[in-house]
């Protein structure tokens, strides 16, 4: 089997541990985990030209438009550490962003080659988040609010998941269990697809 350069996307409902698993995948496969939130914060903190645009929009209480998000992502993917592969977390979120990413990667002779979807029972996630909210004293994190965030996630990501499933890129992984158990399932699924963890690359 031909070894692939991992150009990956991870998706999963709030509370499924997506951020934690993104970090583990990045370490396992020797690629940067690229989160839109981290990119926004880094650019704002460093007062880059793009960062100043983002800050002005966020200060006004508006959503960062696709065009600016796309610009930030293409800037980040153009950096040296992403040449051998990357893991995107939080992008793309819309079909317009999917089209932009396709076009950007195609221009470099590349393409996204796997989408890891963390799948978890909704009621179990709600219970996990309610318990965490209680432990952390976050009384505003009600069951109703948590379920609303799950609904928004499902509504927003369904078209993306359908698109990547149609392309044969979707890898569904059970997101329930310990951090180590879920990480092991992801590693196995990616290795089966032809990606090689850096520890075993020799």
Q: Which residues are catalytic?
A: 18, 93, 132, 138, 149
Which DSSP string do the residues of 179-197 spell out, in sequence order? HHHHHHHHHHHHHHTT---
Q: What is the DSSP letter of 82?
A: G
- The H or E element containing residue 54 is helix 49-59
Residue of 200, 199, 202, 201 lying closest to 27 (CA atoms): 199
Residues found in the chain: 202
> The tokens of 165 are what?
């499933």
Confirm if 147 and 93 have CB atoms less than 8 A apart: no
Q: Which residues pair with 87 in a beta bridge?
A: 8, 33
């Amino acid at each position: 089997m031909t070894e692939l350069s991992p150009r990956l996307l991870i998706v999963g409902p709030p509370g499924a541990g997506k951020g934690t698993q993104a970090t583990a995948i990045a370490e396992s496969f020797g690629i940067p985990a690229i989160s839109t939130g981290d990119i926004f914060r880094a650019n704002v903190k460093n007062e880059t030209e793009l960062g100043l645009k983002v800050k002005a929009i966020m200060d006004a209480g508006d959503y960062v438009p696709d065009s600016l998000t796309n610009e930030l992502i293409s800037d980040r993917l153009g950096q040296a550490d992403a040449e051998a592969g990357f893991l995107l977390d939080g992008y793309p979120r819309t079909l317009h962003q999917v089209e932009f990413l396709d076009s950007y990667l195609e221009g470099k002779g590349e393409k996204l080659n796997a989408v890891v979807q963390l799948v978890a029972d909704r009621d179990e996630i709600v219970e996990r988040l309610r318990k965490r909210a209680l432990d952390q004293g976050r009384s505003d994190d009600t069951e109703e609010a948590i379920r609303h965030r799950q609904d928004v996630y499902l509504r927003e990501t369904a078209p993306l998941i359908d698109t990547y499933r149609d392309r044969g890129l979707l890898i569904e992984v059970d997101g329930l269990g310990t951090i180590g158990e879920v990480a092991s399932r992801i590693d196995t699924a990616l290795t089966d697809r032809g990606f090689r963890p850096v520890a075993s690359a020799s």
